[in-house]
Amino acid sequence: MSLPVIPAPAAATTGDGTFTLTTSSGVTAPPELEAVAARFVAAVELDTGLALAGSTGITAELRPVDDVPPATGLRADGSVSADERYGLEVSEAGVVVWGPTPESLHRGLTSLRQLISAHVHDGTAVLPAARVVDGPRFAWRGLSLDVVRTFHEPDEVRRIIDMLDLYKLNVLHLHLTDDQGWRVEVPSRPLLTEVGATGAIGDRPGGYYTQQELADLVAYAADRFITVVPEIDMPGHTAAVFKAYPELGPQEQRTIELGNGDKLHLGTLDPGRDETWTFVEDVLDAVVPQFPSSVYVHIGGDETWGMSDEDHAAFVEKAAALVRERGKRVVGWQEIARAKLDPADVVQYWLDLDIDKMGENPDAPTPPEDLLPVLVEALRKAKHDAPKALEQGAKLIVSPVTWLYFDRPHADTSADPEQEKARERLGLEFYGAASLEHGISWDPADIVAAEQIAGVEAAIWCETVTSSSDLELLLLPRLSGLAEKAWSHRTTTNWPNYATRLAHQSPTWHNRDWTWLKSVEVNWS
C-alpha cells in the first residue's frame, strides 16, 4: 500500500495495526525541539481541525538517519552541515519521529501532518502502522515568485510559504524588481518606492514591502526552514528604475507591445557609466542586509534586449564582483553564463525551448511581428548557456520552461465551472497548456547530470494573474509535482499512484482555504 505522502518517501513500508490520535494526544520532545513541535501542533489544527492538546502519543527524538544518501547540490543558506533526513514510525504503541537536526524533525513531522490529514475523521485520526525513512535528493528546492507584474501582499506570501512548507520545499526566490515595478526599500534611493513601486501590469495596483514586512517574511520562512533569496533583476528589466531615476536610462526607451496589456522594454543599465555603479552599490547595500539567511543574491542578467554581448558580459562580471565583495554568492538566470563566472556562482537554467522546433506546432500563437526577431536571437544564444556555465565549473538550478514554468495554462479540465472560466484566461498561451500528469513525467537528471545540479526550482510569472486566487490556481496542485521531482529519489513517477496520493491532499487545501485546480483527472478526497 502506498502512503498518502507527497513527495514520495525514499523507503516506506506498512504493517498491521493502527494508532489513534485524539485531542488528548500531543508531542513529547526535548527542549531543543519544543519550537518545532509547537509549530507542528498548530499546523495540524489548521490542516485538519484536530487540536492536539495533550503531551503524549507522538515522540520526537534527535538521532541520526543513515539509511538514505545525503542530498546533493547546494543550499540557499550555504550550510554544509544541514541534514533533512528523518525517520517516522507508526505502531500500536504510538508515533516516533526522529532525525539528527531540528530541521530533519520538521520534515518528518510534515509527513506526519499529511498522514493525519488523510486519516482524520470526527476529531480523531486512525493512523495505519507504517515505517518511513526519507531524505531529499536535491538540497535546493524552490519557487521563484513574481511579485512585480502583480504585487502580492505579505499575507498572501505567507500563504505561499505555508504551501512550500507542506511539500518540503526550502527556497522562496522573490523576484522583487522588473519593468513593471520595484518592490523593496532602498532608503538612499527613495524614488524607487515612491515612484518605481506605483502600478503593475495594466491597471493593477502596485506596492512594495517595507523593511519590517520583509524581515517578518524572512523570519516566518526561517521558522519553517525556508530561505528567502532576493532577486534584483539587472541590467535589463529596469524600466521601473528609469521611471524613478530617468538619468540612469538610455536617451531613447524603446518598447514593443505584447498584446496583453504589457510591454517589452528594450533599455538596459549602461555598464560604462559611473552613476550606474553608484546605483547598483546603493541597492546592494540596502537589500543584502534584509536577507540575512540567504548566502545568495540573484542578479537577474536575463533578457537584456538590445544590449551588446560585450556590455552584457561586462555588467554581469562587475555586478557579480560587487555581490561577492559584500560576502554573498552569485546566482543569476542562464544568460549570465555568457560572462566570466566563478565556479561558486549558480546559473538558473530556464530556456529549454528549441528555436528550431518552434514552428512545429501550428496551433501555437504567433508573437507580435516586432518581437519575433528578438525572440529568435535570444533562443539561438540560449542553446549555448548551460554548456558554458558547466565549462566554468558552475552548477545549475534546473528551472526549465517545459516542466517548471507555472504560468503555463492548465490543460486539465476542472470539475468546478467557475474555475473553467479562470482556466481560459490564466497562463501564457505561448508556452502551450500542460497537464498535471505532464508535470511529473520527467526527471531533473534528464536535463543535466545529477552531480551538476545545484537544485530544482519552479517559477510563477504573473502576467495573467489578477488576484490571490488566480495565483493559487496556477500553483496548486503543481507545487506538489515540483516537490515530487525535487525531493524524491524516485527518478520516475507513476501517474495513477501519484494521482491517488494527490487526491488525499485536498482536505488540507480545503481547510486552509487554498485555491487549487480541481482537475477531473484526479478523484479528490
* Catalytic (active-site) positions: 303
Centre a 10 Å sphere on the Cβ of residue 199 and count the other Cβ atoms it contains. Answer: 17
Angle at 400 between CA 349 and CA 300, to 5 degrees: 40
DSSP 3-state of 209:
strand
Question: 242 Cβ partners below 8 Å, 6+ apart?
Answer: 248, 249, 250, 253, 267
From residue 237, how far is each of 175, 298, 303, 500 by CA, in Å?
A: 11, 14, 8, 42
* DSSP secondary structure code for residue 447 in this structure: T
Number of helices (H), then strands (E), belonging to the chain: the values are: 17, 19
Question: What is the residue type of 265?
Answer: H
Length of the chain: 525
**CA neighbor of 268 nearest in space, from 253, 285, 289:** 253
Question: What is the residue type of 177?
Answer: T
CA distance 331 to 311: 19
Convert 263-302 to b/e letters by CB count within 10 Å (16 or more is b).
bbbbbbbbbeeeebbebbeebbebbbebbebbbbbbbbbb
Angle at 175 between CA 172 and CA 181, to 5 degrees: 145
C-alpha cell at 243: 521611471
CA distance 183 to 239: 13
Angle at 284 between CA 282 and CA 289, to 5 degrees: 115
Q: What does DSSP say about strands 177-178 and 171-175: parallel, antiparallel, or unpaired?
A: unpaired
Are 384 and 355 in contact by the 8 Å Cβ rule? The answer is: no
Question: What is the residue type of 487?
Answer: W
DSSP 3-state of 23:
coil
> How would you write 338-379 as a 3-class SS string?
HCCCCCCCEEEECCCCCHHHHHHCCCCCCCCCCCHHHHHHHH
DSSP 3-state of 253:
coil
CA distance 449 to 84: 22
**CA neighbor of 208 nearest in space, from 157, 172, 141:** 157
Residue with cell 498518502: 4
Question: What is the residue type of 321?
Answer: A
Are 244 and 189 in contact by the 8 Å Cβ rule? The answer is: yes
Q: Kindly state the helix (H) or strand (E) to which residue 306 belongs, with its residue range.
A: none
Cα 116 to chain centroid, rounded: 25
